[in-house]
């Protein structure tokens, strides 16, 4: 099994409580039909509308099998069929059924942007990722993101008026009053930009903007590992570190929208200077720059993706720096656990893909530093949405914006 970046998803047994599931017996006709159905649906999500011949070529299924699957999906209302012309011949174009309502989710990272369109948080029609240069400015990021949205909408066989709302995440605190990035030192190229207004101008739909860690928590709350949880936290481990806090079954953003900045919690007042201007922040020990610097002498300059891949392959140096990162993370989590006493902490983002390389030392440090009664009732889980939690959360936010515009009631909470 692979995670959202193409890395193998690690065995989460050291820190994930298994959930029972019922499936068709392996090798049965029912399980084979379901596997073929999922293969066709995934091809349509990834590549957009296709003819049955193109679906057969993409999936490796026989034309007869594709014909049967498409007929079943059409009967179930899962796909839409439309006449088309391919190579001068009449053909039938197959696309995922979307009705007339699409939602868009955009999640900006330090080095990339990921976009999805969907009919709902559990029904993603298509998704794409595009790299971004380090220290990119807002104009560049927004232009690339909106271009991806247009491309996905076109592939789905729809038009931009079908996109009713957009949820957007940025890897920085977002001031709930101004809608702007709430820190001059984090994402400096986005300073002073009204992100919602700029994207609304490009896409012509209402826009909601939030921190990506908050959206990760929202995604897990609605569709993942925080479902049913009243008090919890989602920790996003990527180029930086952020936390989305869940209190009373809802995402808690604080008085100005900047709660959850665990990456800028001081764990060593004499430590390195952080980009936020303080010393010894958690991010200076476990952020991508810190990990790369720790390995520069022995491995040369590695990207975060390189470090993760090498650690999964067993490289001792990469595993060592990630072990140390887990220990620092455990110290910071102990403070959060002592303060909020959450039921569940969910680990997500790229670094979570290395599994027990980080989680074992994290647990040891957490149990050593936190109040025993707080850790006794704590469950630490792997993200069920892997690296897509923030994108799913962005779609949840878009759904709420659309519902508000239509005068509908949508509750975004752990019991949704």
CATH topology of domain 225-383: Nucleotidyltransferase; domain 5 (3.30.420)
pLDDT beyond 50 at 269: yes
How far apart (Å, rounded) are the C-alpha atoms in residues 404 and 414?
A: 19
pLDDT beyond 70 at 147: yes
Rounded to an integer, the average pLDDT of 43-58 is: 86
SS3 at position 72 = helix
Strand order in the sheet with 379-382: 250-252, 241-247, 232-237, 344-348, 379-382
Is the distance from CB of 195 to CB of 203 less than 8 angstroms? Answer: no
**What are 360-395's pLDDT values in tens digits?**
999 999 999 999 999 999 999 999 998 899 999 999
pLDDT at residue 182, as a whole number = 67
Phi, psi of 359 (to 5 degrees): -75, -30
Same fold, 102-215 and 225-383: yes
For the chain, the structural domain boundaries read 34-96, 102-215, 225-383
**What are 213-235's pLDDT values in tens digits?**
999 999 999 999 999 999 999 99
Q: What is the DSSP string of 187-255?
A: SGGGTT--HHHHHHHHH-S-EEEEEHHHHHHHHHHHHSTTTT-SSEEEEEESSSEEEEEEETTEEE--S
Rounded to an integer, the average pLDDT of 173-187 is: 78
Is the distance from CB of 92 to CB of 84 less than 8 angstroms? Answer: yes
* CATH number corresponding to 34-96: 1.10.10.10
* CATH number corresponding to 102-215: 3.30.420.40
What whole-number percentage of the chain has pLDDT above 90?
Answer: 63
Find the range with the poorest average confidence among 141-150, 179-188, 389-398: 179-188
pLDDT at residue 371, as a whole number = 95
**Average predicted confidence (pLDDT) for the chain:** 87
pLDDT at residue 29, as a whole number = 77
User: Against a cut of 0.85, is the pTM above it?
Assistant: no
**What are 80-103's pLDDT values in tens digits?**
888 877 777 888 888 877 666 899
Rounded to an integer, the average pLDDT of 260-279 is: 92
Between residues 328 and 34, the one the model is more confident about: 328
**What are 4-38's pLDDT values in tens digits?**
433 344 444 434 433 233 344 445 677 788 889 88
pLDDT at residue 28, as a whole number = 66
pLDDT beyond 50 at 70: yes
């Amino acid at each position: 099994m692979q995670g959202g970046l193409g890395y193998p998803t690690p065995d989460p047994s050291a820190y994930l409580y298994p959930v029972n599931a019922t499936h068709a017996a392996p090798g049965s006709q029912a399980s084979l039909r379901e596997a073929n159905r999922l293969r066709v649906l995934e091809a349509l999500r990834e590549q957009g509308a296709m003819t049955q011949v193109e679906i057969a070529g993409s999936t490796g299924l026989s034309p007869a099998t594709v014909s049967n699957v498409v007929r079943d999906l059409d009967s179930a209302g899962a796909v839409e069929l439309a006449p088309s012309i391919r190579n001068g011949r009449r053909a039938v174009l197959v696309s995922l059924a979307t009705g007339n309502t699409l939602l868009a989710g955009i999640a900006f990272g330090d080095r990339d942007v990921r976009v999805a369109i969907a009919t709902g948080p559990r029904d993603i029609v298509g998704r794409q990722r595009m790299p971004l240069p380090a220290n990119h400015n807002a104009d560049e990021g927004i232009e690339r993101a909106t271009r991806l949205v247009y491309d996905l909408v076109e592939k789905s066989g729809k038009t931009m008026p079908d996109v009713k709302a957009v949820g957007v995440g940025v890897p920085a605190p977002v001031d709930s009053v101004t809608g702007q990035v709430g820190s001059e030192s984090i994402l400096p190229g986005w300073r002073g930009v009204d992100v919602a207004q700029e994207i609304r101008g490009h896409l012509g739909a209402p826009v909601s903007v939030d921190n990506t860690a908050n959206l990760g928590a929202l995604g897990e709350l609605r569709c993942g590992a925080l479902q049913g949880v009243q008090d919890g936290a989602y920790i996003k481990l990527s180029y930086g570190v952020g936390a989305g806090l869940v209190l009373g079954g809802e995402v808690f953003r604080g008085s100005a929208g900047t709660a959850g900045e665990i990456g800028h919690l001081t764990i060593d007042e004499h430590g390195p200077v952080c980009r936020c201007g303080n010393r010894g922040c958690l991010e200076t020990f476990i952020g991508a720059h810190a990990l790369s610097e720790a390995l520069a002498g022995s491995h040369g300059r590695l990207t975060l993706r390189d470090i993760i891949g090498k650690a999964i392959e067993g490289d001792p140096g990469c595993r060592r720096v990630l072990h140390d990162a887990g220990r620092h993370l455990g110290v910071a989590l102990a403070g959060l656990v002592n303060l909020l006493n959450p039921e569940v902490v969910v680990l997500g983002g790229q670094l979570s893909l290395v599994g027990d390389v980080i989680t074992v030392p994290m647990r040891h440090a957490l149990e050593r530093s936190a109040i025993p009664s707080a850790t006794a009732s704590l469950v630490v889980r792997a993200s069920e949405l892997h690296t897509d939690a923030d994108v799913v959360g962005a779609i949840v936010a878009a759904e709420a914006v659309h519902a508000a515009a239509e005068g509908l009631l949508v509750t975004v909470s752990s019991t949704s």
